[in-house]
Amino acid sequence: MKLAFGLQTYAFFYLGFLYLPVLFLPLFSFNDGTIVAFPIKGWTLEWYRQLGSQDTLIQALVNSLLVGAVSAMLSTAMGLFAARAYVRYRFRGKRISEGLVMLPLVVPGIIVASSMLVLFISMGLKPSLTAVILGHTFLALPFAVAIMKSAFDDFDVSLEEAALDLGSTVLETFRRVTLPIVAPGIVSSLLVTFTVSFDEFVLAFFLSGNEPTLPVYIWSQIRFPAKLPNTLALGSLLLLASVLLLVIAEFFRRRSSKSLV
């Protein structure tokens, strides 16, 4: 079949196109030269070694970890409750609510960033990590809701009913039956929302003030050609971290849907 063969060839080329940028970054981070071009001069770990001694970088990393962790917890907590409501109950305004929480996915970044900056300033909240956390929680919420919805989707309601019939209180049932069963979903949601925050740039650029997160720090470094090799090394580490986190998240998500048979 000629068509099938053509499609398959195209698919492989397309995959190459998708992976091109994420593979070149790590490749040239080991290059023993400051210009990003072929041929590669030699292999070195020097650029990675230099990263450890840059204090502003370490501070930016700490900021990013903090923002990521708090936004992940806030968005997952809200997503957990909302997803349970969407999957389990019928109530007035459900469709509007479900649509609304997905809105952050499609609003243009610059509009969210500029309008939040204006809002926070009007409310007396100066650009800071707190402002970034509030913004990232907003952006990460749709991911948390979507993941928690799929975790609750195949959840067997009769387990909860059994616990209630056997005399557990509502809280006990939630803590000892519901929570353990959806735990893999929660872990998956925490990891995904953390990654969303960890990689986010435009909002942090507007809202972080003089407390840069890692992407904002990278943005400030991109302008200096002399810093290029270090930026490549740092970028490669970030790529690796994101992919690892997501693979672990996927593992947990699959485990949650398997355990619900």
Contacts of other proteins in 95-154 (CB under 8 A): 97, 100-101, 103-112, 114-119, 122, 134, 137-138, 141, 145
User: By C-beta, is 96 or 261 nearer to other proteins?
Assistant: 96
Q: How far is the CB of 253 from other proteins (least distance, A)?
A: 12
Minimum distance of other proteins from residue 82's CB (angstroms): 4
Q: How far apart are CA 36 and CA 141, in angstroms?
A: 38
Cβ atoms of residues 47 and 32 within 8 Å: no
- Under DSSP, the state recorded for 170 is H
The full 3-state SS of 4-18, as one line of letters, equals HHHHHHHHHHHHHHH
Q: Residue 220, interface with other proteins (CB under 8 A)?
A: no
Binding mask 222-261 for other proteins (x = CB under 8 A): x--------x---x--xx--xx-xxx--x-----------
Binding to other proteins (CB under 8 A) within 38-97 occurs at 38-39, 77-79, 81-82, 84-86, 88-94, 97
Q: How far is the CB of 93 from other proteins (least distance, A)?
A: 7
Q: How far is CA 121 from the centre of its chain?
A: 26
For residues 154-193, which are near other proteins according to CB under 8 A?
none
Q: What tokens appear for 218 in the block? A: 């990278």
Amino acid type, 191? L
For residue 43, the cross-strand partners are 31
Closest CA to 116 of 204, 195, 197: 204
Q: Does the protein bind other proteins through residue 36 (CB under 8 A)?
A: yes
